[in-house]
Structure 1
Amino acid sequence: MTASPELADRYAAVTAGIADACAGAGRSPDELTLVVVTKFHPAQLVRDLVELGVRHVGENRHQDAAPKAAELADLPLTWHFVGQLQSNKAKAAARYADVIHSVDRESLVTALASAERAPDVFLEVNLTDDPGRGGVSPDRVEELAEAVVATERLRLRGVMGVAPLDEDARSAFARLRAIGERVRSLAPEATDLSAGMSGDYAEAIAEGATHLRIGTAITGKRPAPQ
């Protein structure tokens, strides 16, 4: 075992917190996928996480994710891309990303659908009033979902969102859950909800999250970006 005691303790604390939140919500931790976001951390940290039992990791910058995924190709990992993705980098990201959580426009759908390896996708919804933030506006979600379904290559998993800082997290995730239900009326298989990060995963679990994207609560302070 090469994982540090500190890393092991943080991982244990988060998994215990998830179990507690599930108990409070009448859910089982088995319903959840924990995606550990390893943004800016070296490949060795991912190896250490795998020793602790992690099987899903997330990255949010293509220039970091591509070489890290290549270096760790020997590990039993599912790679999740959770950051904003430029359409001109979509095909390259699809070479290693099994799941992309940040699909928010039709040009990205088109690019991913033409990739050699088609990933699973979530529609990222903008839960703020700022149109400059990432995510499709709630009133255009059905239109984007239809575009994904029409490709017949991309598997639509559900919706993703980040709770605004100026709103109660649970109310934001309740809105996201309702939007996800609208998507399911078009794509019944799109049952997943990617919501909850280090500071609000309990609220996300209470609102039905299936995928948690947790970084610093497990990995510790991020190194400075290179």
Structure 2
Amino acid sequence: MDTALADRLAAVDERIQDAARAAHRDAAAITRIVVTKFHPATLVSELHALGVRDVGENRQQELTAKRAELAGFPDLKWHFIGQAQTNKARAVRAAADAVHSIDRARIADALDGADGRGLLDVLLQVNLTDDTGRGGVDPSGVEELAAHVAGLSTLRLRGVMAVAPLDEEPVRAFERLRRSADAVRAVVPDAEWISAGMTGDFPEAIAMGATHLRIGSAITGPRPPRD
């Protein structure tokens, strides 16, 4: 067992507890997703031995391969957090337990039409920047997209997701995301997930109500070089 990995995981969990305490929140109500992008499946198995049950992947190919390699760990929950594409919807649906990146009706329809394993938990990705080319639905379109997804029989809308812009204080960005979360709950009252906060800004996300954190290198260490 990699003792450094265990130490990093423990240090992040302590920071989560501290941030939750400062925000007068229960840390047990916050899900820590470990993002293992570019790391081997063996790292995920080590994380599992340390008690990790929620892992995230950005790329469909990696998600599919790792889930297959780690089929012996059925209690792992796999979160797809990368940009979703309609032509990969069937593969994502087959491998993901939750998709955090619904940003248009077409991808929602593609996931709904794919062969699935029961209901698929999904979140609306919200664009918190002024760049319309970035992934995510504009905040002004959140309610309309939420209503569309809510009408799809095999998807279960759980909430919202976003990445804080690099050129803005994270707290201000996450405040806007919280308003989008309120808009979604006006359509689906029990869509209470807020997926926000990464290695550099998860304490601020917790302060603004994040329920799911997507943390990579602070736990996994540097990503290995790619061939």
- The residue that corresponds to 1:84 in the other structure is 83
SS at match of 2:94: coil
Question: Which of 17, 21, 28 is equivalent to 1:23?
Answer: 21
1:113 paired to 2:116: no
1:217 paired to 2:215: no
Figure out how many residues of one structure are paired with residues of the other and give that number.
224
Q: Give 1:106 shift.
A: 0.8
Q: Give 1:45 shift.
A: 0.2
Q: Render the CA deviation track for 1:156-178: whole Å, top value 9, x for unaligned.
A: 00000000001100110011001
Write the distance in 2 (CA, Å) between the matches of 1:26 and 1:94.
36
Write the distance in 1 (CA, Å) between the matches of 2:226 and 2:188.
38
- The residue that corresponds to 2:179 in the other structure is 178
Q: Which amino acid aligns with 1:97?
A: A
Superposed CA RMSD:
0.8
Q: Give 1:216 shift.
A: 0.4
Q: What TM-score comes out, normalization by structure 2 length?
A: 0.97
Q: Render the CA deviation track for 1:110-166: whole Å, top value 9, x for unaligned.
A: 011112214210000000001111101111111111110111221000000000001
Write the distance in 1 (CA, Å) between the matches of 2:147 and 2:155.
11
SS at match of 2:225: coil
Q: Which amino acid aligns with 1:108?
A: I
- The residue that corresponds to 1:34 in the other structure is 32
* Residues 129-140 of structure 1: pairs in structure 2 closer than 5 A: 129-140=130-141
* Residues 162-173 of structure 1: pairs in structure 2 closer than 5 A: 162-173=163-174
Q: Which amino acid aligns with 2:5?
A: L
Q: Give 1:44 shift.
A: 0.3
Write the distance in 2 (CA, Å) between the matches of 1:128 and 1:57.
26
Q: Give 1:225 shift.
A: 3.5
SS at match of 2:122: strand
Q: Give 1:224 shift.
A: 2.5
Write the distance in 2 (CA, Å) between the matches of 1:110 and 1:195.
24
Q: Give 1:39 shift.
A: 0.2
1:58 paired to 2:56: yes
SS at match of 2:56: strand
Identity in percent: 56
Q: Render the CA deviation track for 1:30-76: whole Å, top value 9, x for unaligned.
A: 11111000000000000000011100000000111111110001112
Q: What TM-score comes out, normalization by structure 1 length?
A: 0.97
Write the distance in 2 (CA, Å) between the matches of 1:166 and 1:198.
16
Moved over 2 A (4+): none
- The residue that corresponds to 2:195 in the other structure is 194
- The residue that corresponds to 1:68 in the other structure is 66
Question: Which residues of structure 1 form unaligned runs of 5+?
Answer: none
Q: Give 1:100 shift.
A: 0.2
Write the distance in 1 (CA, Å) between the matches of 2:127 and 2:197.
14
SS at match of 1:69: helix
- The residue that corresponds to 1:47 in the other structure is 45
Question: Which residues of structure 2 form unaligned runs of 5+?
Answer: none
Tell me which moved more, 46-55 or 111-120: 111-120
SS at match of 1:95: helix
Tell me which moved more, 112-121 or 25-34: 112-121
- The residue that corresponds to 2:149 in the other structure is 148
Q: Which amino acid aligns with 1:80?
A: H
Write the distance in 1 (CA, Å) between the matches of 2:102 and 2:225.
26
Write the distance in 2 (CA, Å) between the matches of 1:5 and 1:92.
34
